[in-house]
Structure 1
Amino acid sequence: MRKEEVIVVGGGVVGAAIAFGAAKAGAPVTLLDQGDIANRASRGNFGLVWLQSKGDGFPRYARWSRDAIDHWQPLAAELLSLTGIDVDLQQAGGFWIGFSETEMRAREKLLERLRHTGAGVPYRMMEHAELKTHLPAIGPKVAGGSWCPLDGHVNPLKLLHALHAGLKALGAQVFSGVDVTAVRHRTNGGFVVAGSDNRSWSGDRLVLAAGLGNKQLAPQVGLHAPVEPNRGQVLITERLSPFLPYPTNKARQTAEGTVQLGYSVEDVGFDDGTTVSAIEWIARRAVDTFPLLANVRLVRAWGALRVMTPDGHPIYQESRSCPGAFVAASHSGVTLAGTHAYVVGPWISGLGPAPDDIEEFAGDRYLDPTRSFANAH
């Protein structure tokens, strides 16, 4: 039986992981990467492998995220073996940090709701004194936090590099600097993808994982992906001696010793710049969390655009009118990387089963006039 050629549009963490999974399953794969001109969320990703809080109000997503956590150790090991690239996975647990009793109680209610989804999301609420035994550097303004033993973090740039290197090692074709402007379903089957430089590619199956570009490309093959940009600004400190043994929702210390501080949540269209006000707010909150950062030098700041759906949850769907065309969109590309590689990649290539209840993630859900949607961003 001939294996169908898969074209993946979008070379960020989401597209690269799906392409990697398809290639590993045995499909001929072509990855079209927009490269440095892309509004790439992967460049500014905070790098968290994060379970706690995902899927509130959407039980299938809670279970999807829980399953993704179990794929991370095998994925990191496989990428290291195949490419020699260590993505710096540390998965010993993570902490959400709160500054008031109101925040703490709201957090506990959220995690209790998730506990009843069937996803098996373990957590523990900690008051300040107990939290300080795990994070000795926290300051007096911290009220407490929540702990999930399954959380962790990686280096997102190393992850992206490893996925691209792994694709090439598996024999996939990777084209960079490709600005895809049109996709078309051929009447006799298959798809044609056109770039702005007049290059074109054809294949049997098509995956749109183009981040914010999915909004324009998806309707061309009968799919709906109403994604919008949301800016997050992030700061990086100079290298410090180890003081933060676990990632938190506000800061994480990298393997190199720098501390990544985040993050803002801003609806500013496609502006991925930085602002003094956001940098000051992030820095102030970081010092309130860990006072030892007060005199640390900041070495870098950047803004990146999240790919946000109306409810903040992913989209995965095969087109009904153009069978063989798929769309994938998520702002949790790092957390879900293993699932994208080991579950979504084989499915979209036709070499693996459709995930259970995958229709719950269809972009068509946003067309239902009886439903309303909101996301935490």
Structure 2
Amino acid sequence: MVLRSSEITIIGGGIVGLSTALGLLQAGLRVTVLNGADGDFRASQGNFGLIWLQGKGADFAPYAAWTREAVARWPEFARALQELSGVDLALQQSGGFEFFTDPDEFTAFAQSLAQQQAHLGPRFSHEMIDGDTLRRLHPEIGPEVVGASFCPLDGHVNPLRLLTALQRAFVTLGGEIRTGAQVVEIAQAQGGGFDLRLKDGTHLGAPRAVLCAGLGSSTLAAQLGFATRVSPQRGELLITEKLGPRLGFLSSTIRQVDEGGLQIGGTKANVGPDDRETLSEINALARHAVTVLPALADVRVVRAWGALRVMTPDGYPVYARSPQHPGAYLVTCHSGVTLASLHASLLADWIEDSAAAPDLEAFDDHRFALSAAA
């Protein structure tokens, strides 16, 4: 069986794949998305939903600038996506905090934000707030919090609604999503394009292919000559019972979702492909939440889960064209929610190599090939 109706095939039906596909579709291309198996590890279904700038790219100016552009485009992106899909994304972008209980960590993060400020100039603003001042502004903050940073550009969204909205908008505009289409092998086809072999034995043809398969990308990336090998990083989350409007702010580790519950997260563990929750990390999350907000001690936790982030070797996104297989592209990152506004817009210009294409050379895959050679 050969598929030739599409001009470009997206391998991966998560937030990164669908936002990229939507941008290409809106640029006038015929696009098919191959969405893998239900049992695949899916970062899009377990993330925290932040649209976050502070701290991003402090040591890598191109990433700071790319993230700043993404954050700026989110309000219009959300409006257009809601209009297309009929799904309310529950976007709020009124600023966010990073809380600290360790003075040294607070000082170190202040230095990182100063570096980010140097990269972005007037396009970035932030405040460093000491603990006493913070408690005058927010009396509910606990006494062990030594300070916080605040960036007025940060925000959050309902990530599951975002995923649903992308699916609906893509199909509404004429895109095709093939579910259960798990690509296990990709090779150059005779006469041009690519032959994609699925797990069920089906073969699909694709004139061009964009690999956006998250943790499923490494094997296929190697087959296309890419150097990037992504790895999993587990993060664990807690969800509390639904509450009234109890949280007067957003932070990178505690947020009140639109349904009313509090989502508590922030763990990082390099444990391989293991998304099980652990009692020790759940306890640590609960302690952190109560330290920041002591009144949460009487709130019930109703759910907990682990999910796997998609991490490149240096933690930054990869946007690469295959040097060996023209027409093959690799797009991978761990900030798929934040960067969705760019993946659905500017990335299409880069893939099409149009005059309006952004300069993404700093994110090319060859940086890992060079590191290995060194």
- Determine the C-alpha separation between the residues in 1 that align with 2:372 and 2:45: 37
**Counterpart of 2:24 in 1: which secondary structure?**
helix
Amino acid at match of 1:145: A
Aligned partners of 1:230 and 1:269 also within 8 Å:
yes
Residue 261 (structure 1) aligns with: 264
Structure 2 counterpart of 1:129, from 132, 137, 161: 132
Runs of 5+ unmatched residues, structure 2: none
Runs of 5+ unmatched residues, structure 1: 373-377
* Cα-to-partner distance string for 1:58-90 (whole Å, 9 max, x where unaligned): 110110000001111111101111111011100
- Determine the C-alpha separation between the residues in 2 that align with 1:328 and 1:349: 14
Structure 1 counterpart of 2:255, from 213, 238, 252: 252
Residue 103 (structure 2) aligns with: 101
Aligned partners of 1:13 and 1:160 also within 8 Å:
yes
**Counterpart of 1:236 in 2: which secondary structure?**
strand
Residue 73 (structure 1) aligns with: 75
> Pairwise mapping of residues 32-181 of structure 1 onto structure 2 (< 5 A)?
32-118=34-120, 120-181=123-184
User: Between Structure 1 and Structure 2, how many residues are aligned?
Assistant: 369
- Residue 371 of structure 1 deviates from its aligned partner by 9.4
- Residue 10 of structure 1 deviates from its aligned partner by 0.6
Residue 24 (structure 2) aligns with: 22
Amino acid at match of 2:285: I
Residue 375 (structure 1) aligns with: none
Single out whichever of 292-301 and 218-227 deviates more from structure 2: 218-227
> Pairwise mapping of residues 270-289 of structure 1 onto structure 2 (< 5 A)?
270-289=273-292
Single out whichever of 272-281 and 185-194 deviates more from structure 2: 185-194
> Pairwise mapping of residues 151-230 of structure 1 onto structure 2 (< 5 A)?
151-230=154-233
Single out whichever of 184-193 and 16-25 deviates more from structure 2: 184-193
> Pairwise mapping of residues 330-349 of structure 1 onto structure 2 (< 5 A)?
330-349=333-352
Aligned partners of 1:47 and 1:156 also within 8 Å:
yes
Aligned partners of 2:96 and 2:153 also within 8 Å:
yes
- 1:310 maps to 2:317: no
Single out whichever of 346-355 and 272-281 deviates more from structure 2: 346-355
- Determine the C-alpha separation between the residues in 2 that align with 1:136 and 1:183: 57
Amino acid at match of 2:364: A
Amino acid at match of 1:244: L
Aligned partners of 2:221 and 2:228 also within 8 Å:
yes
* Cα-to-partner distance string for 1:337-367 (whole Å, 9 max, x where unaligned): 10111111343245674311x1210122012
- Residue 265 of structure 1 deviates from its aligned partner by 0.7
Cα pair distance change 1:154/1:136, threshold 3 Å: farther
- Residue 134 of structure 1 deviates from its aligned partner by 4.4
**Counterpart of 2:305 in 1: which secondary structure?**
strand
Cα pair distance change 1:5/1:162, threshold 3 Å: same
Cα pair distance change 1:38/1:136, threshold 3 Å: farther
**Counterpart of 1:116 in 2: which secondary structure?**
helix
> What TM-score, normalized by structure 1, do the two folds share?
0.94
Amino acid at match of 2:10: V
Cα pair distance change 1:204/1:233, threshold 3 Å: same
* Cα-to-partner distance string for 1:188-244 (whole Å, 9 max, x where unaligned): 221222210122322221100000111110121222221111100000000111122
> What TM-score, normalized by structure 2, do the two folds share?
0.95
